[in-house]
Amino acid sequence: KAGVTQTPRYLIKTRGQQVTLSCSPISGHRSVSWYQQTPGQGLQFLFEYFSETQRNKGNFPGRFSGRQFSNSRSEMNVSTLELGDSALYLCASSFGTEHSYEQYFGPGTRLTVT
């Protein structure tokens, strides 16, 4: 079974620009979550989608948004990029949205904002 895939793997953007990251979950998984990983803050939850609905949202500004499509694929968008948005963005998929399900992570997208 193929794992979680994320595209692109690396991205360099300039302050003020916007960026869209993509995530394809494991086949059969309907829940997709996004996390931001930085050296200072560690791993922080961004949002979770299940059946095209946002179920939970972390403490991030409105510049961070996401969506999920009917095939469970998900995208996250960051508008008006800031230097502090430089991070590894990890997508995770799980079978369901219950807290008992383990999440499987993709390789991440490394975003650098200059």
Partner 1 sequence: AQKVTQAQTEISVVEKEDVTLDCVYETRDTTYYLFWYKQPPSGELVFLIRRNSFDEQNEISGRYSWNFQKSTSSFNFTITASQVVDSAVYFCALSEARGYSTLTFGKGTMLLVSP
Shortest separation between residue 46's beta carbon and partner 1, angstroms: 10
Which of residues 17 and 52 has its CB atom nearest to partner 1 in the complex? 52
CB atoms within 10 A of CB 92: 21
Q: Which is nearer to partner 1, 3 or 67 (CB)?
A: 3
Angle at the Cα of 106 from the Cα atoms of 75 and 95, rounded to 5 degrees? 80
In angstroms, give the least distance from the CB of 110 to partner 1.
Answer: 8
- Please identify, using beta-carbon distances, which residue of 17 and 41 lies nearer to partner 1: 41
Task: Quote the CA–CA distance of 20 and 100 in Å, as a whole number.
Answer: 29
For every residue of 66-82, DSSP letters joined together read: EEE-TTS-EEEEE-S--
For 67, 68, 95, the CA distances from 64, given in Å and listed in that order, are 11, 14, 24
Residues making contact with partner 1 (CB under 8 A): 31, 33, 35, 42-45, 48, 50, 55-56, 58, 88, 90, 92, 94, 96-108, 110
Q: In the complex with partner 1, which residue's Cβ is closer, 14 or 99? A: 99
Q: Give the rounded distance of the alpha carbon of 62 from its chain centre.
A: 14
Q: In angstroms, what is the minimal distance from the CB of 70 to partner 1?
A: 20
Cβ of residue 31: shortest distance to partner 1, in angstroms?
6
